[in-house]
Structure 1
Amino acid sequence: MKKESKEEKRDSLSLRRNALGLGGAVVMSAAIMGPAVSTFFNPQFSMPFSGAATPLVYVLCLVAILITASGIMEMAAKLPSAGAFYTYVTQGIGPKSGFVTGGLTFVAYALLPPAEIGLVGSYLQNTLRDEVGIALPWWLIGLAPAGLMIFLALEGVQSSLRTALVLFTVEVIVVVTLAIIIVMHGGRDGLSVQPLTPGASPHGVNGLVTGFIFAALSFVGFEAATTLSEEVRKPTRNVPKAIGFSVLFVGALYVFCVWAEVIGLGAGNANRIDGSSTPWNDLATSYAPWAKLLVVFAATSSMFAVMVNSNTGVVRILHVMGREGMLPRLFAYVDPKRKTPTYTVLAQGLFSVVIALLVGAFSGGLTNPTGGSNVYGYLGFLLTLGILPVYVLTNIATIRFFVKRGSFHLVRHGVLPILAILLMVGLLVGQIQQQTTAPYTWFPWLIAGWVAVVTAGAIWLSKHRPNKLAVAGAVMATGETENEIALSSDGVNPPK
């Protein structure tokens, strides 16, 4: 058997370099936020509290997320790694914290695909039943996009992002077009900036605060471009730009569309909206009946884009953790032809389907659309509890990293990260306090238990395999450290 050269072994561990430009990275972050899904389904969870002032809530959220993103952008500019948060926290705080961060990030990203399987399944089950009289179980509907997600991931990141770009473009066109039509009609009671003022909140400042807690869910995933750092051209420049551009673009879209929604409904109706409402279906019926099916298509394509992009992110995080010995070496394998982590893709795809089916079966049934919607609600809350501590840890890591480097900037590496920490801790506490019924009251304990498990794993590695923990987060898109680790590793490719 021909002995594998050092160059060949290094290449066998690498994802496809320079596969994407700035545009692809922007699509990764923007699409995972799901502009259509977040616009069509999320504001009504804020409106029982902030009512007609919900557009102002989204303005405040945009500012808060930009502050939070600043620390992540600073780290992405210095540490271009597909491990993203896992790498940042490892370099800024330490390997044990990095390992815990990797575990929390896994919860956040890995639960998004099964959550979307449940949402797309239940949404289309209801739509097909109401519009054409076809009765299909939500789980069967959800398996179709899940299978396509796995196929695209096996084909490579370019195929996934090309599909996401098309879907993202369609959903943005539909939701913005409908919003413009509402504005051109003058809405229900005329155009007004009142929804952008605190006085529009029916419950005052407390209503704004609570509405903010729910609206912030629309921005989860803004950092997804960081997981493409090893596949984007000039990652130290393009990844931070992608994060900033995607937050600004999608955030502005949210503000405009939610403002148009309130204008279209009228302040009184907006104050009566609740989480079970489907206001955009009603808006389409009132202002553009011909667009109702387009709304359904845009919502569905947005769910699928979120599914594809979140899957892309978690696959790459798991790949890096496997490559560094934090997970079984099977996760480090890269298909030599397609340059994709084949076994990681299959494992994550199977996980998504199984979790969606299990949660749905035990929370509403496999034939009742409630089962699918509960999958989205339960897993969505869980992944939020997972990602918020990651944002906190990353901003702590930003402060420590730049202090240790001797390149600390008071505003970029001090003031902004501290503000981000305070905002995200407050949001996390608010999320927990607002959920007072089971099973939501159980979920913080599930996350706490998961943190305990991964912390125990980090401690075990530090005692029994300190060399593995020592290299955590060290694999970069550039630099000799990556080559040294790659060439010293053993047993990366599974036996044939």
Structure 2
Amino acid sequence: MAQETDHSTELRHGVIGTVPLAFLVIAAAAPLGACAANIPLIIGLGNGIAAPMDFLFIGVLLILFAVGYTAMSSHVTNAGAFYTYISMGLGKRLGGAAGYLAVAAYNFLTLYTAAVGGYFGSDILNLELGIQVPWWIITIVLYLAVFLLGYFGIEGGTKFLMVCLVCEASILVVTDVSVLIQAGPAAYTLESFDPGVFFSGAPGLGIAFAFLCFIGFEATAIFGEEAKDPRKTVPRATFFAVIFVGVVYALTAWSVIAAMGGDEIVAMAQSDQAGNIFYTVVTTYLGPVAGHIFNFFFIMSAFACWLATHNMASRYLYAFGRAGMLPKALGRTHPKHKSPYIASIVQLVFGLAVVLICLVLGFDPYTQIGAIASAIAVVGIMTLELLVCASVIGYMRKHNSEEGYHYNVFTTTIAPLLALVGLCYIAFLVISNFALLTGLDNMVLNIVFACLMWIIGICGFIASVVKDKRGTLADPTTIEVDE
């Protein structure tokens, strides 16, 4: 028995409340960065001034997803999140495959934040302070900062993320209010919500880019073991996160359109100045000082997203190590801080190794490393969400007659089924426009990258089958952790 207690495998319980948890996952969506980067893409490449409607469409779809997802989370508390949920609804083998897929997807998402964070950090330091620092040095320094915040426990990192999110939200809200006051309510055209405008241009691209802005909200369940009263906290935080980012994105997109006018903003979004749209609106309506503040808050947004995704990726590594699906050492936690420090170290080493290999090969951090890594991660996370929708239906059908369940048919079937259909449509849009997401013209590479997550999932399924036949495939219900 002494050997079993040599290493801690427990996370710190009951340290994250509803609002901090919601802020943690909202930070992963990086509202300021998402607005500045994706709204111009939706307007220029998608369906123009219907951008606010795109965000509302995705928001409603993800609320439908959250209905069944949060109902299941009220009965399941485990850092394995998607791995656990899919195991309990669709079986251990498919759950194991989903777990490997989740580990890969969230690590690729962290790789994206590392490359892009270094790129924008270098660019803004040069622009604001005249200091020229190579992007890869910024990436290494910030990655170490991300690791240290994760190493010393979730509490400190969450408090930092809350500060970052307040800064992000503040500049978005102040900009929106300033446009409303100066341009007037009449500038807010209702054409943005006209079905005819919504289906004009390339609505599929608009919807796909809008969906990318919500990536991260689904990770509330990953932190269930560390949440206060997780069976209530996780559902509340999930709905709060979806509604918050959906409203902020829709209002901000509407305000940006009102600030510049429909024709002008579409023309700029289709030019090489598309990336400057939000900065132009901020400086026009708030002045040049606000432009400098925006640049530094943009870096904070990128760093907050990076920290959040690192925490998500490290907890999937931890959960899979604890379950024996990956080396057991990954399942160890720090004796004092109760953080998954071994998993954090592995995540750090993986990220830095890939970044440095790409540096040697001469890859651009933004248009190549970041674009490809994010496109791959999105395919993986979308696949997991689709499986969760199916899992919710299977799980609820099995348990809904038991004490403590008794959900209505909307929760158990209709909402997850509608979410499943909607997510299938968005997955089709993402895959059919994958070359646009990666920025690559090579069809073979695009096919390989588009299928990479599915290949990992298939390999994970095979590994799970082998483990199951040997009697070593973990059952998530045996490692569920309550408060």
Describe the superposition over 1:187-219 as per-residue Cα deviations: whole angstroms up to 9, x where unpaired: 798333322323445xx3462232101110000
Task: Pick the aligned partner of 1:12 from 1, 8, 12.
Answer: 8
* Corresponding residue of 1:80: 77
* Residues 1:406 and 1:322: Cα distance change in structure 2 (over 3 Å): same
For the pair 1:463 / 2:469, whether they are aligned, the reply is yes
Q: How does 1:11-50 map to 2 (within 5 A)?
A: 12-47=8-43, 48-50=45-47
Stretch deviating more after TM superposition (164-173 or 448-457): 448-457
TM-score, normalization by structure 1 = 0.89
Unaligned 5+ runs, structure 1: 480-496
User: Please, what is the CA RMSD of the aligned residues?
Assistant: 2.1
Aligned equivalent of 1:53 = 50
Give the letter aligned to residue 222 of structure 2: T
Matched residues in 1 for 2:125 and 2:275: separation? 18
Q: Which of 217, 223, 243 is matched with 1:248 structurally?
A: 243
- SS of 2:275 mapped into structure 1: coil
Kindly, what percent of the aligned residue pairs are identical? 23
TM-fit CA distance, 1:102 = 0.9
Matched to 2:227, the amino acid is: V
* C-alpha deviation, 1:110, in angstroms: 1.3
Q: Which stretch has the larger CA shift, 33-42 or 114-123? A: 114-123
Letter in 2 for 1:62: G
Partner of 2:396: 402
Q: What's the offset of the Cα at 1:132?
A: 4.0
Residue 267 of structure 1 is matched in structure 2 by 262
Which of 199, 205, 215 is the aligned partner of 1:210?
A: 205
In the alignment, which residue of structure 1 is the partner of 2:438? none
Task: Assess if the C-alpha contact under 8 Å between 1:90 and 1:98 holds in 2.
Answer: yes
CA contact (8 A) 1:21 1:233 kept: yes
Aligned-residue offset at 1:13: 2.0
Of 122, 134, 140, the match for 1:125: 122
Q: Residues 306-355 of structure 1: CA distance to partner in whole angstroms, max 9, x if unpaired? A: 11111111211221211111111101112211111221110111112222
- Corresponding residue to 2:151 among 151, 154, 165: 154
Which residue of structure 2 aligns with residue 494 of structure 1?
none
Aligned residues: 466
- Separation in 2 of the partners of 1:92 and 1:56? 33
Q: Closer, same or farther in 2 for the Cα pair 1:326/1:399, shift >3 Å?
A: same
Hey, what does 2:223 align to over in structure 1? Answer: 228
| Aligned-residue offset at 1:70 | 1.7
- Greater Cα shift, 453-462 or 298-307: 453-462
Equivalent-residue separation in structure 2 for 1:32 and 1:429 (angstroms): 24
Q: What is the SS of the residue equivalent to 2:189?
A: coil
Deviates more, 1:211-220 or 1:404-413: 404-413
| 2:368 alignment partner, one of 371, 374, 377 | 374
Report if the CA contact (8 A) 2:325-2:474 is conserved.
Answer: no
Counterpart-to-counterpart distance in 1, 2:93 and 2:462: 10
Q: Structure 2: give runs of 5+ residues left out of the alignment.
A: 402-406, 436-440
Give the 3-state SS of the residue equivalent to 1:327 in structure 2.
Answer: coil
- Residue 485 of structure 1: aligned partner: none
Q: Is the 8 A contact 1:360 1:375 kept in 2?
A: no
Matched, 1:431 2:426: no
1:191-202 alignment, distance < 5 Å: 191-201=188-198
Distance 1:187-1:148 versus aligned 2 partners, 3 A rule: farther
Residue identity matched to 1:430: L
Contact 2:107 2:310 in 1 (8 A): yes
Q: Which amino acid aligns with 2:21?
A: A
CA deviations on 1:408-452 (whole Å, 9 max, x unpaired) are 631101011111111111111111111343343431132232223
For residues 235-260 of structure 1, give each alpha carbon's deviation from its aligned partner in whole angstroms, at most 9, with x where no partner exists: 00111110001111111111111111
Residue 62 of structure 1: how far off its partner (Å): 0.8
Q: Is the CA contact 2:30–2:301 (under 8 Å) kept in the aligned structure 1? A: yes
- Whole-Å Cα distance in 2 between the matches of residues 189 and 413 of structure 1? 43
Q: CA deviation at 1:5?
A: 9.3
Please give the per-residue CA displacement for 1:38-88, whole angstroms capped at 9, x wherever unaligned: 111111221122111111111111111111222211111110111111100
Whether contact under 8 Å (1:432, 1:441) holds in the other structure is no
Q: Distance in 1 between matches of 2:205 and 2:333?
A: 45
Q: Which residue of structure 1 lines up, in the alignment, with residue 279 of structure 2? A: 281
Comparing 67-76 and 378-387, the one that deviates more:
67-76
Q: Residue 95 of structure 2 aligns with which residue?
A: 98
Note if 1:477 corresponds to 2:481.
Answer: yes
Distance 1:350 1:18, change over 3 A: same
Aligned mates of 1:371, 1:472 — CA distance in 2: 38
Residue 140 of structure 1: how far off its partner (Å): 1.0
Asked if structure 2 preserves the Cα contact closer than 8 Å seen for 1:187 and 1:260, the reply is no
The 2-side partners of 1:360 and 1:216 are apart by: 30
Match of 1:186 among 183, 192, 201: 183
For 1:238 and 1:133, the matched residues in 2 are separated by 45
Q: 1 CA distance for matches of 2:144 and 2:206?
A: 36
TM-score by length of 2: 0.91
Q: 1:133 and 1:336 mapped to 2: Cα distance?
A: 44
For residues 140 and 189 of structure 1, the distance between their equivalents in structure 2, rounded to whole angstroms, comes to 47
SS in 2 for 1:442: helix
Report the residue type matching 1:106 in the other structure. Answer: V
